[in-house]
Amino acid sequence: MASRAGPRAAGTDGSDYEHRERVAQHYQMSVALKSEIKKLNIAHAALWLLVAAQVVVSQLNLVSHKLVATPYQWEYIYLLSIVPTVFSFMALPKNNTSYLVISMISAGLLSLGPIFYGGMEMFPMAQQLYRHGKAYRFIFGFSAVSVMYLVMVIALQVHGWQIYYSKKLLDAWVTNTQEKKKK
């Protein structure tokens, strides 16, 4: 080994450092996936705020029900979907696998579950709108069914990608942990 003041070790030309400068694949993947999950968490928080705003405005009678429709039942349950996002944010800084697993499971139950229920709940109103062109609930002049189905499609994508990336991140973390245990 070379010292600061001494010559380089015999038998080396100084190019043997390259293998030490590479970052392991699972670390690179972890950083990239954490970034994507944070973006999805922020997107989910924005969707959640929209639904929460509709519920609060409706419950407190801040505006006329003709302007903002009363929420569907699934929207109240969907308000619990902030729990997976909180656990996800808590899991990321210290690579906490337990919180990430809780986030994934609760995202399926508290996020995707209400959305699927909402799709079934609103289906008769969507059929009526499609077949007869009649809507009885409105959000700022647009059919509430149309607006909420649009929100549901976006939310399905956000939650689906969030669960997918969380699973990939969990795999990267577990791979890293297993490699450390082998050594």
pLDDT of residue 48: 96
DSSP-derived secondary structure letter, 88: H
d(CA 157, CA 99): 22
pTM, 2 dp: 0.79
pLDDT, greater one: 9 or 70: 70
- State how many domains the chain has: 1
Is pLDDT of 164 > 70?
yes
Domain with 161 in it: 26-176
Cβ proximity of 72 and 121 under 8 Å: yes
DSSP-derived secondary structure letter, 81: G
Residue 71 lies in a domain: yes
Residue 1 lies in a domain: no
| Stretch 97-112: mean pLDDT | 95
d(CA 134, CA 62): 26
pLDDT of residue 168: 94
Residue 32 lies in a domain: yes
